[in-house]
Amino acid sequence: MGVQVTVWPRGSRRTRTAGPLGVDWDGSTRRVGVPLFSQQYGKLTAATASTRYEPGFGGFDLCSWTVVPYGGYVGGLMRPGDPVQMTKGGGEVFFGEFSETEPNDDGTVTLHAKGYAYNLNDYQALFLDPVDGGDDVSYPTTQLGATTAPVSSDAARYAWQYAVYDRGMPITNVIGSTSSWGVPLGESDMAEGPLTVGDLVTAVHQADGERWAVWGRTLFVGPDATDPMWSYAAPDSVFGVADTDYATTVFVWYVSSDLCSVQPWNVATAYGAGDVVSDGGRWWQALVPTTGGSAPSEGLAWTEVPTAYRKSDFALGGATDTAGLDRFDVREVLVDYRGLGTILDSRATTLAGGLLDQVKGRFILTGGFTVGPESGFASADGGKADIAFVRAGEVLKMPGLRTDQGNLMDSDATVIGKTEWSCQVEGGEIASESLSVTPMGAVPRDLGSILQGAPLDATGMAAGNGKRAA
């Protein structure tokens, strides 16, 4: 089966139709001009296409193709943003937009395209507020938008509708959960600084325990897939302990609200000069006798003081991986939460358990591997797989395999995190091809990096307000 690359030169003529969350571009009218085939301006010699499905990014990633140009390559033939499609035997391997041209020293030209997932990070997350009798105003926003659309032409538009409807973002359909899109991410839907639409989509769906990916021009959101799509007996060498560092016990050092001598400020309590209270996770000393009025963090009767807790206010909570103690060496870590204000003992235990889930050692896939068309890589039902159409985000099953320590895998299935398909072409047909697969979570994790972000996550939990930081 041959490989073909098609590029559609962009034109100015395009139409809009109402979609589930804004506007769909009519693809037949956006593709203006005569399609260009790689075989028309040069002989195709090689092609690659990759996909990614990771936190903050997903979908068709990048593709490249190399040609021997006929009579010299004309660099202005294609422009950044021109739609690009790569097919194998009529099936779609890649769909995105042209990005750049790279002339090579051997006289060939390599052309590059990027998937539409990148567009989410090309557009700012802005709220459009139409103003009667004046210029419309745009604000940075932490709200993607309402879950019902289309919006009327004279209504305010949130980040998604504004990016698609008014500024032409080419991702035109959404499949999956959008229930959180109408809820501001943060204290206000007006952000202090601009975010990209991609940043906002990532933040919203990470808070919901979901991921996103773009296939074609459709944004898919939802939890990780569970049904296997593919099957492969990967070599034993790619199994082991996933973490470069791990912990069997996580201790949390915190200020216990059950023990603490510094009590939260109470509007109904009379305080004397010199009294110390906690408010907003900080400590305040009364300058003058005061009752009621503004909270210490907002009033003039109080001054902020360094930590006022006694050693007896501190407590250690922890969580232990009992199964891990039997499989790994003992390794304990301590996370300092004392700067977060008072925390309930039950909350400290919950925080310790959540951290442990992230850093405990486990036997899973720890590396990627490369397969060919005759390597035994198969569909989940045992049929022969065309490796060009395996993509990130799908589930790979490897039953019954053991690690190099002789232990059964914790799981015999994994979500594919990255793929890269490549081929060599001779005489218009594929001479050889291969697929590189990197399972989700296979990149070794760094314990310090995981724990470094813990206090930021814990701040909202300690405050008990349920707010999510953008």
Residues 314-329 pLDDT 10s = 889 899 998 888 877 8
Greater confidence (153 vs 266) lies with 266
pLDDT at 86 over 90: yes
* The predicted structure's pLDDT at residue 403: 52
Higher pLDDT, 404 or 351: 351
Q: Give the model's pLDDT for residue 98.
A: 92
The phi and psi torsions of 198 (rounded to 5 degrees) equal: -65, -45
Q: What is the pLDDT of residue 320?
A: 93
Residues in the chain: 470
Contacts for 28 with CB less than 8 Å, ≥ 6 apart: none
pLDDT greater at residue 97 or residue 243: 97
pLDDT score, position 65: 94
Question: Residue type at 12?
Answer: S
**pLDDT grade, residue 252 (50/70/90)?**
confident
- Give the mean pLDDT of 93-111: 91
**Paired strand residues for 19:** 22
Share of the chain above pLDDT 90, in %: 19
pLDDT at 424: 95
What HEC string does the chain produce?
CCEEEEECCECCCCCEEEECCEEEECHHHHECCCCEEHHHHEEEEEEEEEEEEECCEEEEEEEEEEEEECCCCCHHHCCCCCEEEEEECCEEEEEEEEEEEEECCCCCEEEEEEEHHHHHHCCECEEEECCCCCCCEEEEECCCCCCCCCCCCCCCECHHHHHHHHCCCCCCEEEECCHHHHCCCCCCCECCCCCEHHHHHHHHHHHCCCEEEEECCEEEEECCCCCEEEECCCCHHHEEECECCCCCEEEEEEEECCCCCCCECCCCCEECCCCEEEECCEEEEECCCEECCCCCCCCCCEEEECCCCCHHHEEEEEEECHHHHHHCCCCEEEEECHHHCEECHHHHHHHHHHHHHHHCCCEEECCCEEECCCCCCEECCCCECCHHHCCCCCEEECCCCECCCCCECCCCEEEEEEEEEEEEEECCEEEEEEEEEEECCCCCECHHHHHHCHHHHHHHHHHCCCCCCC
Q: Is the pLDDT confidence value at 404 over 60?
A: no
Question: For residue 123, is pLDDT > 50?
Answer: yes
Percent of the chain with pLDDT over 70: 74
pLDDT (average), residues 276-297:
82
